[in-house]
Structure 1
Amino acid sequence: MGSCKEEERKQQKSVWVHGPIIVGAGPSGLAVAACLKQSQIPSLVLERSDCIASLWQQRTYDRLKLHLPKQFCQLPLLDYPKHFPKYPTKHQFISYMESYAKHFCIEPKFKQLVEKAEFVNGIWRVKSQDCEYISKWLVVATGENAEPVIPQIQGLDRFNGNVVHTSGYKSGYEFRKQKVLVVGCGNSGMEVSLDLCRHNASPHMVVRNSVHVLPREIFGCSTFGIAMALHKWLPLRLVDKFILLMSNLILGSTENLGLRRPETGPIELKNITGKTPVLDGGALNQIKSGNIKVMEEVKEITRNGAKFMDGQEKEFDSIVLATGYKSNVPFWLKGSDFFTEQGMPRRPFPNGWKGENGLYTVGFTRRGLLGTASDAIKIANDIADQWKINKEWDNICSSYVILQI
């Protein structure tokens, strides 16, 4: 049986790609492909799923909206439609992605799961389940959120109720009138808890670590936008102090609600660790009213519920794991030490977009779509410079051959 599979792989066809290979057809991959197309450089986009932006289409809950205003979440060369609201919905964002791909005539090859990519003898060899693609350039665009993180919680496998990661959560309607344990207190944990409340469920949200909760807007302006504007003139720590001062005035103290703030400011913390502050969309009021109950860290899961570190024990009907995502790059990119074991570039922002031997990365800045747009432009410009040199060299060689004839 093993020899048959080996024989199949030997017969696997190889395709030379006249341009970069881009792995991933999410916002990052599409952004690079569009920027390359503007420079008249072809590319091949490989996508393991059957659609673009598969994380958004297949792994997000129904009521999801962009956490930041649309001007901070658009890709290069094409703005959102003017009639879109300030905070586009999930479905509006997907339609923007589809329009973006259509506008730039980007046609990914779907259902191409990359099993291995390696730089061999001066070229990149990228193997999917049925083909090997070869190119001078490889763009890793699978991003920070490729695979769900499933925590190791004692007893989780013996729980009698339903256990779902937020990647499989669609709506609180499925959990109506249930008592639900939500593990995680980031933006997803807060929004899922709020959604559960709106469907008459009883969410208990586990807060394991400290967390910054900020108002989405300050005086009608985006908190993130204000922070960016201030940072042009002030040190980051002063910006953080102002944001926290305004947050306490608008939201009140979160410490009294069991939401302890980290010692490092929210924007500085995101830049250092990638941990995004929670932008409150209404969950905080539900916590204050007692509809969302804040729980300490889980000690173990029982057959019918959970035991907590503070000694409490409660029964639950379902568990939602709002525990985030991780990169999957270490599983398929071989022979390169550009990425850490966690699948993130070793070089910090803004220098993590380019590796050696024609290797590029996009979507790993921990700065959302703004970082993606910035890196996509840099990558396309860098490849365009090489493309121009190669083209000039080809022309010189062609002229030389003609002269010799």
Structure 2
Amino acid sequence: MTISCLRELQGKMANDPHFTGSTRRVWVPGPVIIGAGPSGLAAAACLKEKGVPSVVLERSNCIASLWQNKTYDRLRLHLPKKFCELPMMPFPEDYPEYPSKQQFVEYLENYAKRFGIMPVFEQEVESAEYDECVGLWRVKSVGLKGEEMEYVCRWLVVATGENAEAVVPEIKGMADFRGEVRHTSEYKNGSRFSGKKVLVVGSGNSGMEVCLDLCNYNAHPSLIVRDSVHVLPREMLGRSTFGLSMWLLKWLPIRLVDRFLLIMSWLIFGDTASFGLERPKVGPLELKGKTGKTPVLDVGTLAKIKSGDIKIHPSIQSVGNHDVRFVNGRVEKFDAIILATGYRSNTPSWLKENQMFSEKDGMPRKTFPQGWKGDYGLYAVGFSRRGLFGSSMDAKRVSEDIERLWKAEAKQLSKTIGRSFSLQC
């Protein structure tokens, strides 16, 4: 970044009609990282270990706001802790194999302290755009009290992840429903639903676990299963299903591993189609790779479905008053509806580019493992559809690439200053 480029940028900023004179503008010598969740923390830590400074912007008032504010109490990591640790810091040895939500948040807070990561909180990024004239990114944000900021940087790391915004589907007649309606991002536990009939929409890991939680609080849950779904035991043959799968993939093709997983699941669960859970024709690992759809790892929900404590229903046709009509014509009354309909990326709402990220779903256009790098110093961490394990891999790749460019530009700048000094002498 030369002095002439900085002067040119200052001139452009002065004439920018979108910002007033009260806007604070900050030059960031290293990358700006958007998001202080696990992905953003991992990226910042890896960069710091390589001597590259960064600024982390976070719209909430804490790190890992999704985990702290929008998850249910009984949540635990679905995979063993060794597959969920961030770079350069394992989980404490006394943590269980599947750490709780509280333990994971504590781990992340200690991670941030260890690497000296201090995000700038309550900064809602409104836009991030590459300025081709000066070869820099301009990140515009608004604080809690409406104060405007602009961060100018050479590299931009998008770490807002796949789960930035709750997905709320449009269901005919939902506005007329007189019971309680909430997304799982607002659900903590089933204590308030004791004795009530609750319809859970969505048969992923969250929907299955919320149903189990409702049973534990003596509610009467029903589960909407619109599509086929793979349900696997969390552990088989004394090992985690995920860990066993990763080991088998070293020696066998993915379709053989899928066949093994399905045979073991049938031996443990029986035919899941017999109680309303049809399996996809494509195996669980192959389906995950092609579509990103994660198989459900059962933690006790299937037993409740088999016993009839959790009832299975097809898609909703319409809702009205306390009634829900299903596509098979059946009508039932419910006291509450919980939407376990997941989350989506929000990058299209603020990232002003359409080459690396799709405007349709906010995900990188290139699939794993190529989706972590774009053009003009744009990077992504946490969009690989491979959970925390994928975030760690992305963070390492991004930090290595930026370190290489950082050193090259520092070397070039040193030569430029050296020549200038020689001429003056």
* TM-score interval (norm. to shorter): over 0.9
Q: Does 1:350 align with 2:348?
A: no
Give 1:252's aligned amino acid: G
Question: Of 396, 403, 418, which residue of structure 2 is paired with 1:384?
Answer: 403
Question: Of 93, 114, 137, which residue of structure 2 is paired with 1:103?
Answer: 114
- Superposed CA offset, 1:6-41 (max 9, x none): 786453121101100000000000000000000011
| Partner Cα separation in structure 2 for residue 276 and residue 223 of structure 1 | 13
Give 2:54's aligned amino acid: S
- Residues 98 and 311 from structure 1, CA distance in 2 versus in 1: closer, same or farther, beyond 3 angstroms? same
Q: Does 1:49 align with 2:60?
A: yes
| Partner Cα separation in structure 2 for residue 365 and residue 176 of structure 1 | 38
How many residues align structurally? 400
1:57-72 equivalences under 5 Å are: 57-72=68-83
Q: SS at 1:113's partner residue?
A: strand
1:174-185 equivalences under 5 Å are: 174-185=192-203
Q: SS at 1:214's partner residue?
A: strand
Give 1:342's aligned amino acid: D
Question: Of 369, 394, 415, which residue of structure 2 is paired with 1:375?
Answer: 394
Question: Of 189, 193, 199, which residue of structure 1 is paired with 2:211?
Answer: 193
| Partner Cα separation in structure 1 for residue 297 and residue 371 of structure 2 | 27
Q: Which residue of 1 aligns with 2:3?
A: none
CA contact (8 A) 1:19 1:135 kept: yes
Q: SS at 2:123's partner residue?
A: coil
Question: Of 353, 356, 360, which residue of structure 2 is paired with 1:338?
Answer: 356
Q: Does 1:125 align with 2:138?
A: yes
Q: Which residue of 2 aligns with 1:3?
A: none
**What displacement does 1:307 show?**
0.3
Q: Does 1:209 align with 2:238?
A: no
Q: Which residue of 2 aligns with 1:156?
A: 174
TM-score norm. by structure 2 comes to 0.93
- Residues 394 and 248 from structure 1, CA distance in 2 versus in 1: closer, same or farther, beyond 3 angstroms? same
Q: Which residue of 1 aligns with 2:415?
A: 396
CA contact (8 A) 1:211 1:261 kept: yes
Q: SS at 2:374's partner residue?
A: coil
Question: Of 281, 288, 303, which residue of structure 2 is paired with 1:270?
Answer: 288
- Superposed CA offset, 1:305-344 (max 9, x none): 2000111101111000000000000000013321112100
4+ residue runs over 6 A deviation = none
TM-score norm. by structure 1 comes to 0.97
- Superposed CA offset, 1:139-187 (max 9, x none): 0000000000001110111110110000000001121111000001100
Q: Which residue of 1 aligns with 2:42?
A: 31
CA contact (8 A) 1:305 1:313 kept: yes
* Structure 2 stretches lacking a partner, 5+ long: 1-16, 143-147
1:231-270 equivalences under 5 Å are: 231-270=249-288
Give 1:45's aligned amino acid: V
Q: Does 1:220 align with 2:253?
A: no
Q: Does 1:359 align with 2:378?
A: yes
- Superposed CA offset, 1:265-315 (max 9, x none): 001111111110000000000001100001111111111120001111011
| Partner Cα separation in structure 1 for residue 422 and residue 19 of structure 2 | 46
Give 1:311's aligned amino acid: G
| Partner Cα separation in structure 2 for residue 167 and residue 274 of structure 1 | 21
Q: Does 1:290 align with 2:303?
A: no
Q: Percent identity?
A: 56
| Partner Cα separation in structure 2 for residue 31 and residue 268 of structure 1 | 28
CA contact (8 A) 1:305 1:317 kept: no
Q: Which residue of 1 aligns with 2:102?
A: 91
Structure 1 range deviating more: 330-339 or 69-78: 330-339
Give 1:107's aligned amino acid: M
Q: SS at 1:395's partner residue?
A: helix
CA contact (8 A) 1:203 1:292 kept: yes
| Partner Cα separation in structure 1 for residue 349 and residue 218 of structure 2 | 41
| Partner Cα separation in structure 2 for residue 168 and residue 390 of structure 1 | 46
Q: SS at 1:388's partner residue?
A: helix
CA RMSD after TM alignment: 1.0
| Partner Cα separation in structure 2 for residue 282 and residue 249 of structure 1 | 16
Q: Which residue of 2 aligns with 1:21?
A: 32
Give 2:175's aligned amino acid: D
- Superposed CA offset, 1:127-150 (max 9, x none): 001200000000000000000000
Q: Does 1:113 align with 2:132?
A: no
| Partner Cα separation in structure 2 for residue 305 and residue 144 of structure 1 | 33
CA contact (8 A) 1:179 1:316 kept: yes
Q: Which residue of 2 aligns with 1:319?
A: 337
Structure 1 range deviating more: 360-369 or 330-339: 330-339
Q: SS at 1:267's partner residue?
A: helix
CA contact (8 A) 1:327 1:343 kept: yes
| Partner Cα separation in structure 1 for residue 342 and residue 174 of structure 2 | 17
| Partner Cα separation in structure 1 for residue 365 and residue 36 of structure 2 | 23
